[in-house]
């Protein structure tokens, strides 16, 4: 069943996300500090038994220079610097297993799949810790350090996402002028944020992005991971203002307002995890050109492999042209 407003209202929905006055400065400072603390990525080949794709274990400098893992997959037959896709994982997952997720390399792209700090124990595995002072929190990362934007988990993860692009661009296999970012759900949120913070990328692909119009999201869905924030507020009853203020620094709507890149979004009208209105809030705020797939009968899986096929076409147009 539809989980949100009627479709015609969705198409016009804009949300009402607050924008902190120091939003741009916050992120400029954050990135500058983390870039200053960074060092070049380390890349080690991994023997996985494939003949068409080579896989490398990457460690790059993320937030505050902290080490973050990734897999770099390269088509074996390819020559010269490649058009490149940097991918971010959905909530709970990490970079996964080297043998997973061969699509982008099989399609001729260099593919950097970033790990997710402190997650990576859910639907696919990860290997990166989140070295941070965690305040009282609901199980999961969505409320970790939520009392202040500077300590909030997603400040760190978004910085990792930007720094993954920096790292990719420093690799010889990657053509730094032809890089796009891509993700589903939390991964879509990271792609969108990165697309706003790194203006010279080529394109953004955000399938059912998480972390958009959060003040509405936490009141219209009862499922995780938005539920974590609701549960936190149910116990810390005096924290609403502080928490909403923190969230405004990472809300995808605020990134969409700043993102001039062409973006492909998808939204699912039966999504119980990421309410469709919150995706429309981002799409309708997006500064650059957008393409949108509306999946009327899908839940959070959205277009699934059909979204991938469309992304392949979209990225081909933007990265190969």
Q: How far is the CB of 233 from a copy of itself (least distance, A)?
A: 4
Cis peptide preceding 113, ω within 30 of 0? no
Measured distance CA(164)–CA(197) in Å, rounded: 12
Asked whether position 87 contacts a copy of itself by CB under 8 A, the answer is no
On the CB side of 166, how many CA atoms lie within 13 Å of its CA?
Answer: 24
Exactly one of 41, 83, 90, 118 binds a copy of itself (CB under 8 A); which one? Answer: 118
76 contacts a copy of itself (rule: CB under 8 A): yes
Question: Residue 88, annotated ligand binder?
Answer: no
Closer residue to a copy of itself (CB): 135 or 288: 135
Task: Compare residues 70 and 256 and give the one whose CB is closer to a copy of itself.
Answer: 70
Quote the least distance from Cβ 294 to a copy of itself, whole Å: 11
Q: Say whether residue 77 binds a copy of itself (CB under 8 A).
A: yes
Run of H or E residues at 8: helix 7-12
**Residue 185 annotated as catalytic:** yes
Q: Let me know if 33 is exposed, middle or buried by CB neighbors in 10 A (0-12, 13-18, 19+).
A: middle
How many residues at the interface with a copy of itself, by CB under 8 A? Answer: 80
Q: Report the chain's terminal Cα–Cα distance, integer Å.
A: 40
Q: Which contiguous run of DSSP H or E holds residue 294?
A: strand 290-295
- Closer of 86 and 105 to a copy of itself (Cβ): 105
Nearer to a copy of itself, 29 or 306 (CB): 306
State the Cα–Cα distance between residues 10 and 184, nearest whole angstrom: 20
The answer to the question of residue 247 lying near a copy of itself (CB under 8 A) is no
Is 271 a catalytic site residue? yes
Q: How far is the CB of 240 from a copy of itself (least distance, A)?
A: 7
Neighbours of 308 (CB within 10 A): 17
């Amino acid at each position: 069943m539809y989980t949100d407003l009627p479709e015609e209202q969705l198409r016009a929905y804009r949300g009402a996300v607050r924008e902190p006055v120091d939003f741009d400065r916050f992120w400029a400072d954050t990135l500058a500090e983390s870039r200053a603390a960074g060092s070049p990525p380390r890349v080690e080949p991994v023997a996985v038994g494939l003949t068409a794709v080579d896989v490398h274990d990457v460690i790059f400098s993320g937030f505050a220079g902290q080490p973050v893992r990734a897999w770099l997959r390269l088509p074996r037959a390819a020559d010269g610097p490649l058009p490149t896709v940097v991918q971010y994982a959905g909530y709970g997952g990490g970079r996964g297993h080297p043998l997973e997720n061969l699509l982008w390399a099989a399609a001729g792209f260099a593919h950097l799949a970033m790990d997710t700090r402190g997650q990576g124990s859910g639907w696919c595995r990860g290997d990166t810790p989140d070295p941070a002072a965690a305040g009282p929190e609901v199980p999961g990362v969505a409320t970790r350090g939520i009392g202040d934007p500077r300590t909030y988990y997603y400040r760190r993860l978004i910085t990792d996402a930007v720094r993954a692009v920096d790292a990719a661009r420093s690799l010889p296999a990657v053509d730094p002028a032809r890089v796009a970012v891509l993700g589903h759900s939390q991964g879509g949120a990271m792609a969108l944020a990165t697309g706003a913070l790194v203006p010279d990328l080529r394109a953004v692909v955000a399938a059912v992005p998480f972390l958009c119009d959060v003040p509405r999201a936490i009141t219209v869905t009862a499922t995780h991971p938005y539920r974590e924030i609701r549960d936190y507020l149910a116990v810390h009853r005096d924290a609403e203002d502080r928490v909403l203020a923190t969230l405004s620094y990472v809300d995808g709507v605020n990134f969409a307002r700043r993102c001039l890149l062409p973006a492909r979004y998808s939204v699912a009208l039966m999504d119980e995890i990421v309410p469709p209105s919150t995706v429309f809030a981002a799409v309708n705020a997006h500064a650059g050109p957008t393409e949108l797939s509306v999946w009327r009968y899908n839940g959070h899986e959205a277009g699934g492999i059909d979204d991938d096929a469309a992304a392949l076409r979209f990225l081909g147009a933007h990265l190969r042209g």
